[in-house]
């Protein structure tokens, strides 16, 4: 079984410019979310990690391609070439276009900037020559222009929305010489005269078949959105450039969509901007707990000159609102944070986040239309009747329809975090800066259960109750919460992958085939020490009602039992918290017992799996389990005869990654 290719990786390493990377990620996330996760990747990961198995598209943005050559020549380029030839897709913007050609000729005759030489990837079999227009200077907008492109609509299978012509940002890009003669499709040509010999076609954007895959290379920057261009009054005509690009932004977007579609990607046709942040609602099972929590924060609550209450934490500022002090209308309670209306790149740290405290009644449907607080709190009480050891986690809940990241809002604001009790939970419908392992950031779409809960783990117990086990307990709690959601859900095919990913059997595959699993969730734990406790922010995300980018819990139901009702986010949240509190309580009392260990093995995918330990010289080994002292993955070497040699390795989760599909345990870099 092989994983679905759902990652779009944007190279951010040596040679790239920050502006090019940000523009690239900005546009791709708007066009490809939620079908794909657009993730930055540095050269170390390209060289060392098994990225190709889950990658649908590798993007090399603008910058200087000599930097790319310096770090990727050899092993890096061999990996990229193999990825494309085996069916992958490569997208090179500007410098990435030069880099993807057989030969680069840049500013020939200009001793200060001349770059001439062959390139290893050679997806375009000829020469990319530039700059197509004079005036380029590194780290400057002096040579920037709104280049007119004439689009060859016949090159696109569905040309309905593809423009005949557009203007897009240009600064130093090349022209692909004699592209048609090399059997390459020209997607767009420069409409104006260029300043180098570019051949008859003046090819600005080309598409090249490479083995079973393809590469799309550009000279200009169709990924640059006008809204994200800074003002440069020192550059003559730059404001006219911005206005021209703004006028043609729809054409630019449609052209970029067509290019991505030609590379085989499924584009989100609704490329609206990222949703604005919403107000967050603080409530509790017992309304009095809201006032108690705010009272405990009195030393960090200040007032501005108008008397408004603020919490100025390390990364964010929060505005406290009280229902009895504000005029409440439907438009008011649903209004987004005003500073977030900027459709371009947003600095979320500068936006004041509003928290409405509800100390008399739970938030009503008009205030939180996508989250039913009554259902959540009643479910919490119901599940506590089944898990009698659960009695406090989830009592205090803060919910926001659109937030940056539930983990970031807590973990990056220690002043706030230090005042939160164990079991305090922050949940959201949409995250616009969701975080995963390795600091990956993406837009988390509606339909997923998103939560972060606080655990104040006693420091004096850290030696006998190691923190590493909490991620294992969380993984077990999630699987058991799903299978104990209600009568009939017990056998749902949900598993966990070491150390903390949640997988489900792919419902799109025939039942008579060997099981194929896809990721539907994950866990991110952040830890800091304060006042005798390790403050753990445990983030959880589960695809519940959303079928993208992989599958969801709801998608499992028709094949398993079509009579079961869909999952409700509120009930699943309550179920996870009761299971997690129960398992954590057992762990605190008795440690990681044999019983808890067996629970983990019951739900994981790895029992008896044969793996290759790359960091140990490529030896073959059989997975035995995890150690009960520090939660390390145990694997025993197997000889050529298939028999164990007695040599056992213990591997840390923060130093190794498990490519389950290839049976490969790799060292992290």
DSSP string, 278-315: --EEEEESSTHHHHHHHHHTTTTEEE-TT--EEEE-SS
The answer to whether residue 282 sits within a structural domain is no
Look up residue 606 and give its DSSP letter.
-
The CA-based angle 610-541-284, given to 5 degrees, is 140
**How many domains would you assign to the chain?**
3
- Asked if the bond preceding 549 is cis, omega within 30° of 0, the reply is yes
- CA–CA dist 343, 347 (Å, integer): 11
552 with 645, same domain: the answer is no
What are the distances in angstroms from CA 526 to CA 19, 25, 98, 435?
A: 29, 25, 41, 11
Which tokens sit at 300? 């960090």
- CA–CA dist 632, 452 (Å, integer): 25
The answer to whether residue 517 sits within a structural domain is yes
- How many DSSP H helices and E strands does the chain contain? 16, 32
526 with 592, same domain: the answer is yes
Sequence-distant (6+) residues with CB within 8 A of 160 are none
Q: Quick one: which of 236, 219, 204, 231 has its CA closest to 172?
A: 219
13 with 131, same domain: the answer is yes
Q: Quick one: which of 434, 437, 362, 432 has its CA closest to 399?
A: 362
Classify burial at 292, counting beta carbons within 10 Å of its beta carbon; exposed 0-12, middle 13-18, buried 19 or more: middle
Sequence-distant (6+) residues with CB within 8 A of 125 are 102, 182, 183, 184, 208
CATH (domain of 101): 3.40.50.880
176 with 243, same domain: the answer is yes
Q: Look at residue 4 in the predicted model and tell me its pLDDT.
A: 67
394 with 541, same domain: the answer is yes
CATH (domain of 505): 3.30.930.10
499 with 640, same domain: the answer is no
The answer to whether residue 636 sits within a structural domain is yes
- By residue range, what is the domain housing residue 112? 7-262
475 with 391, same domain: the answer is yes
Which of 580, 602, 624 is the endpoint of a domain? 602
425 with 445, same domain: the answer is yes
Which position has the token pair 């206005």? 243
Q: Look at residue 652 in the predicted model and tell me its pLDDT.
A: 76
- CA–CA dist 525, 530 (Å, integer): 16
- CA–CA dist 591, 461 (Å, integer): 10
- CA–CA dist 149, 129 (Å, integer): 17
Bridge partners of residue 310, in order along the sequence: 302, 319
Q: Look at residue 47 in the predicted model and tell me its pLDDT.
A: 93
The answer to whether residue 323 sits within a structural domain is no
500 with 639, same domain: the answer is no
Which of 602, 623, 646 is the endpoint of a domain? 602
Range 329-343 burial, b when 16+ CB lie within 10 A, else e: eeeebeebbeebeee
3-class state of residue 338 by DSSP: helix
Q: Look at residue 324 in the predicted model and tell me its pLDDT.
A: 64
The answer to whether residue 281 sits within a structural domain is no
The answer to whether residue 457 sits within a structural domain is yes
397 with 471, same domain: the answer is yes
Sequence-distant (6+) residues with CB within 8 A of 338 are none
The answer to whether residue 333 sits within a structural domain is no
Residue 536 backbone dihedrals phi, psi, to 5 degrees: -105, 125
Q: Quick one: which of 63, 67, 57, 121 has its CA closest to 89?
A: 57
Range 140-149 burial, b when 16+ CB lie within 10 A, else e: ebebbbbbbb
587 with 624, same domain: the answer is no
Crossing angle of helices 594-603/468-483, nearest 10°?
60
Residues 72, 43: contact at Cβ < 8 Å? yes
Which of 583, 602, 621 is the endpoint of a domain? 602
Crossing angle of helices 468-483/569-590, nearest 10°?
140
Check the CA dihedral 51-493-469-607 and report its sign. Answer: negative
The answer to whether residue 291 sits within a structural domain is no
101 with 245, same domain: the answer is yes
- CA–CA dist 355, 363 (Å, integer): 12
- Ranges in the chain, pLDDT < 70: 1-4, 159-160, 270-274, 324-345, 434-445, 547, 653-669
Q: For the segment 532-583, what is each residue's pLDDT rounded down to a tens digit?
A: 899 999 999 999 998 677 789 999 999 889 999 999 999 999 999 999 999 9
- CA–CA dist 311, 313 (Å, integer): 6
Residues 280, 400: contact at Cβ < 8 Å? yes
């Amino acid at each position: 079984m092989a994983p679905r290719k759902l990652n779009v990786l944007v190279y951010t390493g040596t040679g790239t410019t920050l502006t090019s990377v940000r523009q690239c990620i900005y546009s791709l996330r708007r066009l490809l979310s939620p079908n794909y996760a657009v993730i930055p990747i540095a050269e170390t990961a390209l060289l060392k990690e098994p990225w190709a198995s889950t990658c649908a598209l590798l993007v090399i943005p603008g910058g200087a391609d000599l930097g790319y050559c310096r770090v990727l020549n050899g092993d890096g380029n061999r990996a990229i070439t193999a990825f494309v030839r085996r069916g992958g897709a490569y997208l090179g913007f500007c410098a990435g276009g030069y880099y993807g050609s057989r030969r680069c000729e840049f500013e020939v005759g200009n001793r200060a900037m001349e770059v001439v030489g062959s390139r290893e990837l050679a997806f375009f079999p000829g020469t990319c020559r530039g700059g197509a227009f004079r005036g380029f200077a590194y780290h400057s907008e002096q040579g920037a222009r709104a280049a007119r492109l004439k689009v060859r609509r016949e090159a696109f299978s569905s040309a309905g929305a593809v423009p005949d012509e557009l203007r897009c940002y240009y600064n130093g890009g090349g022209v692909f010489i004699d592209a048609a003669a090399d059997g390459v499709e020209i997607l767009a040509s420069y409409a104006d005269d260029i300043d180098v010999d570019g051949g008859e076609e003046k090819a600005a954007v080309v598409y090249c078949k490479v083995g079973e895959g393809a590469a799309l290379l550009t000279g200009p920057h169709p990924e640059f959105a006008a809204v994200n261009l800074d003002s440069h009054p020192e550059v003559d005509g730059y404001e006219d450039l911005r206005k021209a690009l703004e006028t043609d932004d729809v054409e630019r977007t449609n052209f970029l969509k067509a290019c991505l579609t030609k590379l085989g990607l499924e584009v989100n046709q609704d490329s609206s901007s990222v949703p604005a942040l919403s107000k967050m609602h603080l409530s509790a099972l017992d309304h009095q707990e809201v006032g108690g929590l705010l009272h405990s924060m009195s030393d960090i609550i200040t007032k501005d000159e108008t008397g408004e209450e603020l919490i100025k934490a390390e990364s964010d500022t929060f505005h406290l609102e009280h229902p009895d002090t504000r005029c409440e209308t439907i438009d008011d309670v649903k209004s987004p944070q005003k500073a977030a209306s900027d459709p371009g790149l947003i600095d979320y740290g500068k936006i004041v986040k509003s928290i409405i405290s509800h100390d008399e009644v739970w938030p009503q449907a008009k205030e939180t239309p996508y989250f039913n607080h009554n259902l959540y709190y009643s479910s919490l009480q119901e599940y506590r009747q089944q898990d009698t050891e659960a009695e406090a986690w989830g009592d205090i809940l803060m919910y926001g329809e659109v937030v940056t990241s539930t983990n970031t809002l807590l973990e990056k604001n220690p002043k706030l975090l230090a005042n939160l009790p164990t079991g305090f939970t922050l949940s959201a419908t949409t995250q616009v800066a969701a975080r995963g392992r390795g600091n990956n950031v993406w837009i988390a779409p509606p339909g997923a259960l998103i939560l972060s809960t606080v655990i104040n783990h006693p420091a004096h117990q850290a030696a006998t109750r190691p923190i590493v086990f909490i991620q294992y307990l969380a993984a077990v709690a999630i699987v058991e919460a799903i299978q104990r959601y209600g009568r009939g859900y017990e056998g749902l095919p949900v598993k966990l992958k070491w150390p903390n990913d949640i997988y489900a059997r792919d419902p799109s595959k025939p039942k008579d085939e060997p099981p194929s699993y896809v990721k539907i969730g994950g866990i991110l734990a952040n830890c800091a020490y304060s006042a005798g406790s390790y403050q753990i922010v445990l983030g959880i995300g589960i695809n519940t009602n959303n079928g993208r980018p992989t599958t969801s819990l709801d998608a499992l139901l028709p094949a398993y039992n079509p009579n079961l009702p869909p999952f409700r986010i509120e009930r699943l949240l309550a179920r996870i918290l009761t299971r997690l509190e129960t398992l954590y309580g057992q762990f605190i009392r008795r440690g990681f017992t044999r019983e808890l260990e067996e629970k983990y093995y019951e739900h994981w995918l790895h029992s008896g799996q044969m793996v290759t330990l790359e960091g140990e010289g490529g030896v073959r080994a059989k997975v035995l389990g995890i150690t009960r002292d520090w939660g390390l993955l145990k694997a025993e070497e197997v000889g050529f005869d298939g028999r164990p040699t007695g040599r056992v390795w213990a591997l840390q989760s923060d130093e190794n990654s498990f490519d389950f599909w290839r049976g490969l345990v790799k060292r992290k870099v």
